[in-house]
Amino acid sequence: MAVKYSILGVLIYAAMAVYLLAFIAGTLRQRKAGRGLFFIAFIMSAGAFIYRWINTGHVPLQNLFEVFIAMGAAVYLLSVICEKYLRINQLQIDTLIGFFVLFPAGFVFSETAKPLAPALQSPFFIPHVAVYLSAYIIMFKAAAAAAKTFSGKTDPLQNEDSVYRLVCLGFPLLALGFILGSIWAHYIWGRYFGFDPKEMWSLATCLVYAGYFHFRFIYGTKYPRINSLWILAGLSLILITLFWANLSKLFAGLHSYAL
């Protein structure tokens, strides 16, 4: 547990608190208040991100602490895109995601800034991380919607369509993140795929979603629960990649943040 008493820490904790309030407002069906609080939480997260940017002098996506702050801000932007263009409204889920992605930044990771290592001075660095974190948030949203299939409270077909369109939005970003990482690896290490544990988990994640599309192509919406299971399996692999593969010494490698 690393509690922060800095300005950055205050911004993170305040954003977390407002995300929680927005979630409560959404639960109490106070939609307008919920959206307003959601926007305030976004301003705070974006403020933390910009504050970090000014302090470090480079786009703060270098380590998991910075990535989670960026995710805290990105969740609002992606929520707006999904609501406006996909007509998928998930206020409660989005605010909860916002709270949970900021939690590791607030309490788990150290805020000590380090200069940008030579390996990270690449034009692929920012797009690779930005695309991945966007894809992860969308896949979180898709998995939350997929889990509703098992609650029996929603129309399974309509819910299945929402899940499908969210995965359609997120999967190209997930694949692009993988491709950008592969090209970057080629220019830095001389190989486009190094069989590193994190690379293997990322590949498995992409393959599970590819499996979902093939399954859905064959069976359509005949088995909505099995379709949802694919999405939940995909999210499990994302969580493993993000936390276990990044932090565990079991998977120590070039991408590991544990060493």
Partner 1 sequence: MLGLIVLFAGLSVYSAFIGPAAAKELFGSSAMLIFWGLSLICIFVCLVLFPQLTRRPPLALIHIGALLIILGGLWSSEQGHSIQRNLLKNAKYQTGELIVEKGKMQNIMAVQNYSEWAWLPFYLALEDFTIKHYEPADACEMPVVRQYLSSVKIIEQDLVVSSKQIRVNKPLRYGGYYFLQQDWGLREGNPYSVFTVVSDSGIGLIFGGYIFLGIGLFWSLWSKAFKRI
Residue ranges that bind partner 1, judged by CB under 8 A: 85-87, 114-115, 117-119, 121-122, 164-166, 168-169, 171-172, 175-176, 179, 182-183, 186-197, 200-201, 203-204, 207-208, 210-211, 214-215, 218, 237, 245, 250-251, 253
Minimum CB separation from partner 1 for residue 107, in Å? Answer: 27
CA torsion sign, 6 to 11 to 12 to 18? positive
Max Cα-Cα span within the chain: 54
Tokens representing residue 244 in the block: 């276990």
Spatial separation of the C-alpha atoms in residues 98 and 85, rounded to whole Å: 20
Minimum CB separation from partner 1 for residue 19, in Å? Answer: 25
DSSP secondary-structure letter at 144? H
CA torsion sign, 156 to 162 to 165 to 171? negative
Minimum CB separation from partner 1 for residue 218, in Å? Answer: 7
User: Which C-beta is closer to partner 1: that of 103 or that of 192?
Assistant: 192
Spatial separation of the C-alpha atoms in residues 139 and 241, rounded to whole Å: 13
User: Which C-beta is closer to partner 1: that of 118 or that of 152?
Assistant: 118
Minimum CB separation from partner 1 for residue 65, in Å? Answer: 18
Minimum CB separation from partner 1 for residue 251, in Å? Answer: 6
User: Which C-beta is closer to partner 1: that of 172 or that of 220?
Assistant: 172
Tokens representing residue 67 in the block: 């990535």
Tokens representing residue 105 in the block: 């930044």
The three-class DSSP label of residue 81 is helix
User: Which C-beta is closer to partner 1: that of 103 or that of 215?
Assistant: 215
Rg (the chain; Cα; Å): 18
User: Which C-beta is closer to partner 1: that of 54 or that of 218?
Assistant: 218
Minimum CB separation from partner 1 for residue 136, in Å? Answer: 16
> 174: Cβ–Cβ under 8 A, 6 or more apart, which residues?
132, 135, 136, 139, 205, 206, 209
Minimum CB separation from partner 1 for residue 36, in Å? Answer: 26
Closest CA to 19 of 78, 93, 110: 93
User: Which C-beta is closer to partner 1: that of 10 or that of 250?
Assistant: 250
User: Which C-beta is closer to partner 1: that of 24 or that of 176?
Assistant: 176
